[in-house]
Amino acid sequence: MGKLHDLHAAGQSVWLDFIRRDMLGSGELDAMVRDGIRGLTSNPAIFKNAIGSSDAYDEAISAAVAADPDATPLAVFEGLAVADIQDAADALRSVYDESNAADGYVSLEVSPHLADDTAGTIAEAHRLWNLVDRPNLMIKVPATAEGIPAIEDLIAAGINVNATLMFSMDDYENVAQAYVRGIRRATDPSTIASVASFFVSRVDTNTDAALEKNGSDAALNQRGKAAVANAKLAYDRYLEIFEGADFSDQVERGARAQRVLWASTGVKNPAYSDVLYVEPLIGPNTVNTMPPATIDAFVDHGDVGKAALTDDVATARDDIASLADFGIDFDDITAELKVAGVKAFQDSFDDLLATVAEKINRL
């Protein structure tokens, strides 16, 4: 048994934040599942790098264009992505079955250009759900103002949702309550799973920049604390919502809690520990989706028992509150992060389609 299995024993599932076709056909993902990987997430940037940086997709792209010379880059990409997601879901199906549908999920994102379109998001999520046709699929929906009602409707319809691009406590509250409302509307909540993807590293990146702009010794000493503190407060709220009396009637109906998922856990600042967003965020009924480098780092030198998610919550609250003493509006930082996150995903999606178009022309 390795470190990833130890994490699972501590209550946390590790999902791989990466996908590429050659890892699916070679048995690499199967080996990672044996080592303790319990799910997989994707996004436009991951697919763009996978398609653009290797020849693993060239044969499939050529075949798609030969079958339909008028196929658009979007149609070609969708064919590639659906096949990859189906193969990944099949590789993780054993985890899904053995865990009684608690784990084993693969996430596919709706077009980020629908982030401000509730009806469009709902329609696209249903289309992708039916197209992939796997019970262990999760549809990723951003936690924008328009995404929140879409999350509720999709949960009510029995579609698994990965609510993404969450940076603030307001984001978490909105997503969690949308899930609760959707579960209450669902005919059979026992078949539904969802995670609330709370982004971590980017919070430190922007908060640290504001602390450095202040420049005082006290401000500089607070660098590298906001992201973990913010996450701990979100988990504290999770415990209140899902492990308290208010959700118990839905548990009796067979509903699952919506787990918090730590996203963006690769460390951006090389001065910080490369497991900074793993060790302090280990706790029961959580998920950490890690890029390969972070998984390797944790397996090499991470400590499963070094810190607990429920430790020092009062200190976490003080760390966030203290930002105001340095003239920093943390709510503004997290709001800007979400706007920038949506824009970054949209740009990545456009870059992805441009990469596919370039491959079509070259091949």
Residues catalogued as catalytic: 140
SS3 101: coil
Tokens encoding 7: 């994490």
DSSP letters spanning 308-354: -TTTTHHHHHHHHHHGGGGT--HHHHHHHHHHHHHHHHHHHHHHHHH
**Cβ of 268: how many Cβ atoms within 10 Å?**
14
Calpha distance 316→229 (Å, rounded): 4
What is the per-residue burial (b if ≥16 Cβ within 10 Å, else e) of 149-177?
Answer: bbbbbbbbbebbbbbbbbbbbebbebbbe
Calpha distance 265→194 (Å, rounded): 19
**Cβ of 293: how many Cβ atoms within 10 Å?**
12
Tokens encoding 20: 């590429």
Q: Is the dihedral of CA 236, 266, 220, 332 positive or negative?
A: negative
| Element holding 165 (H helix, E strand) | strand 161-166
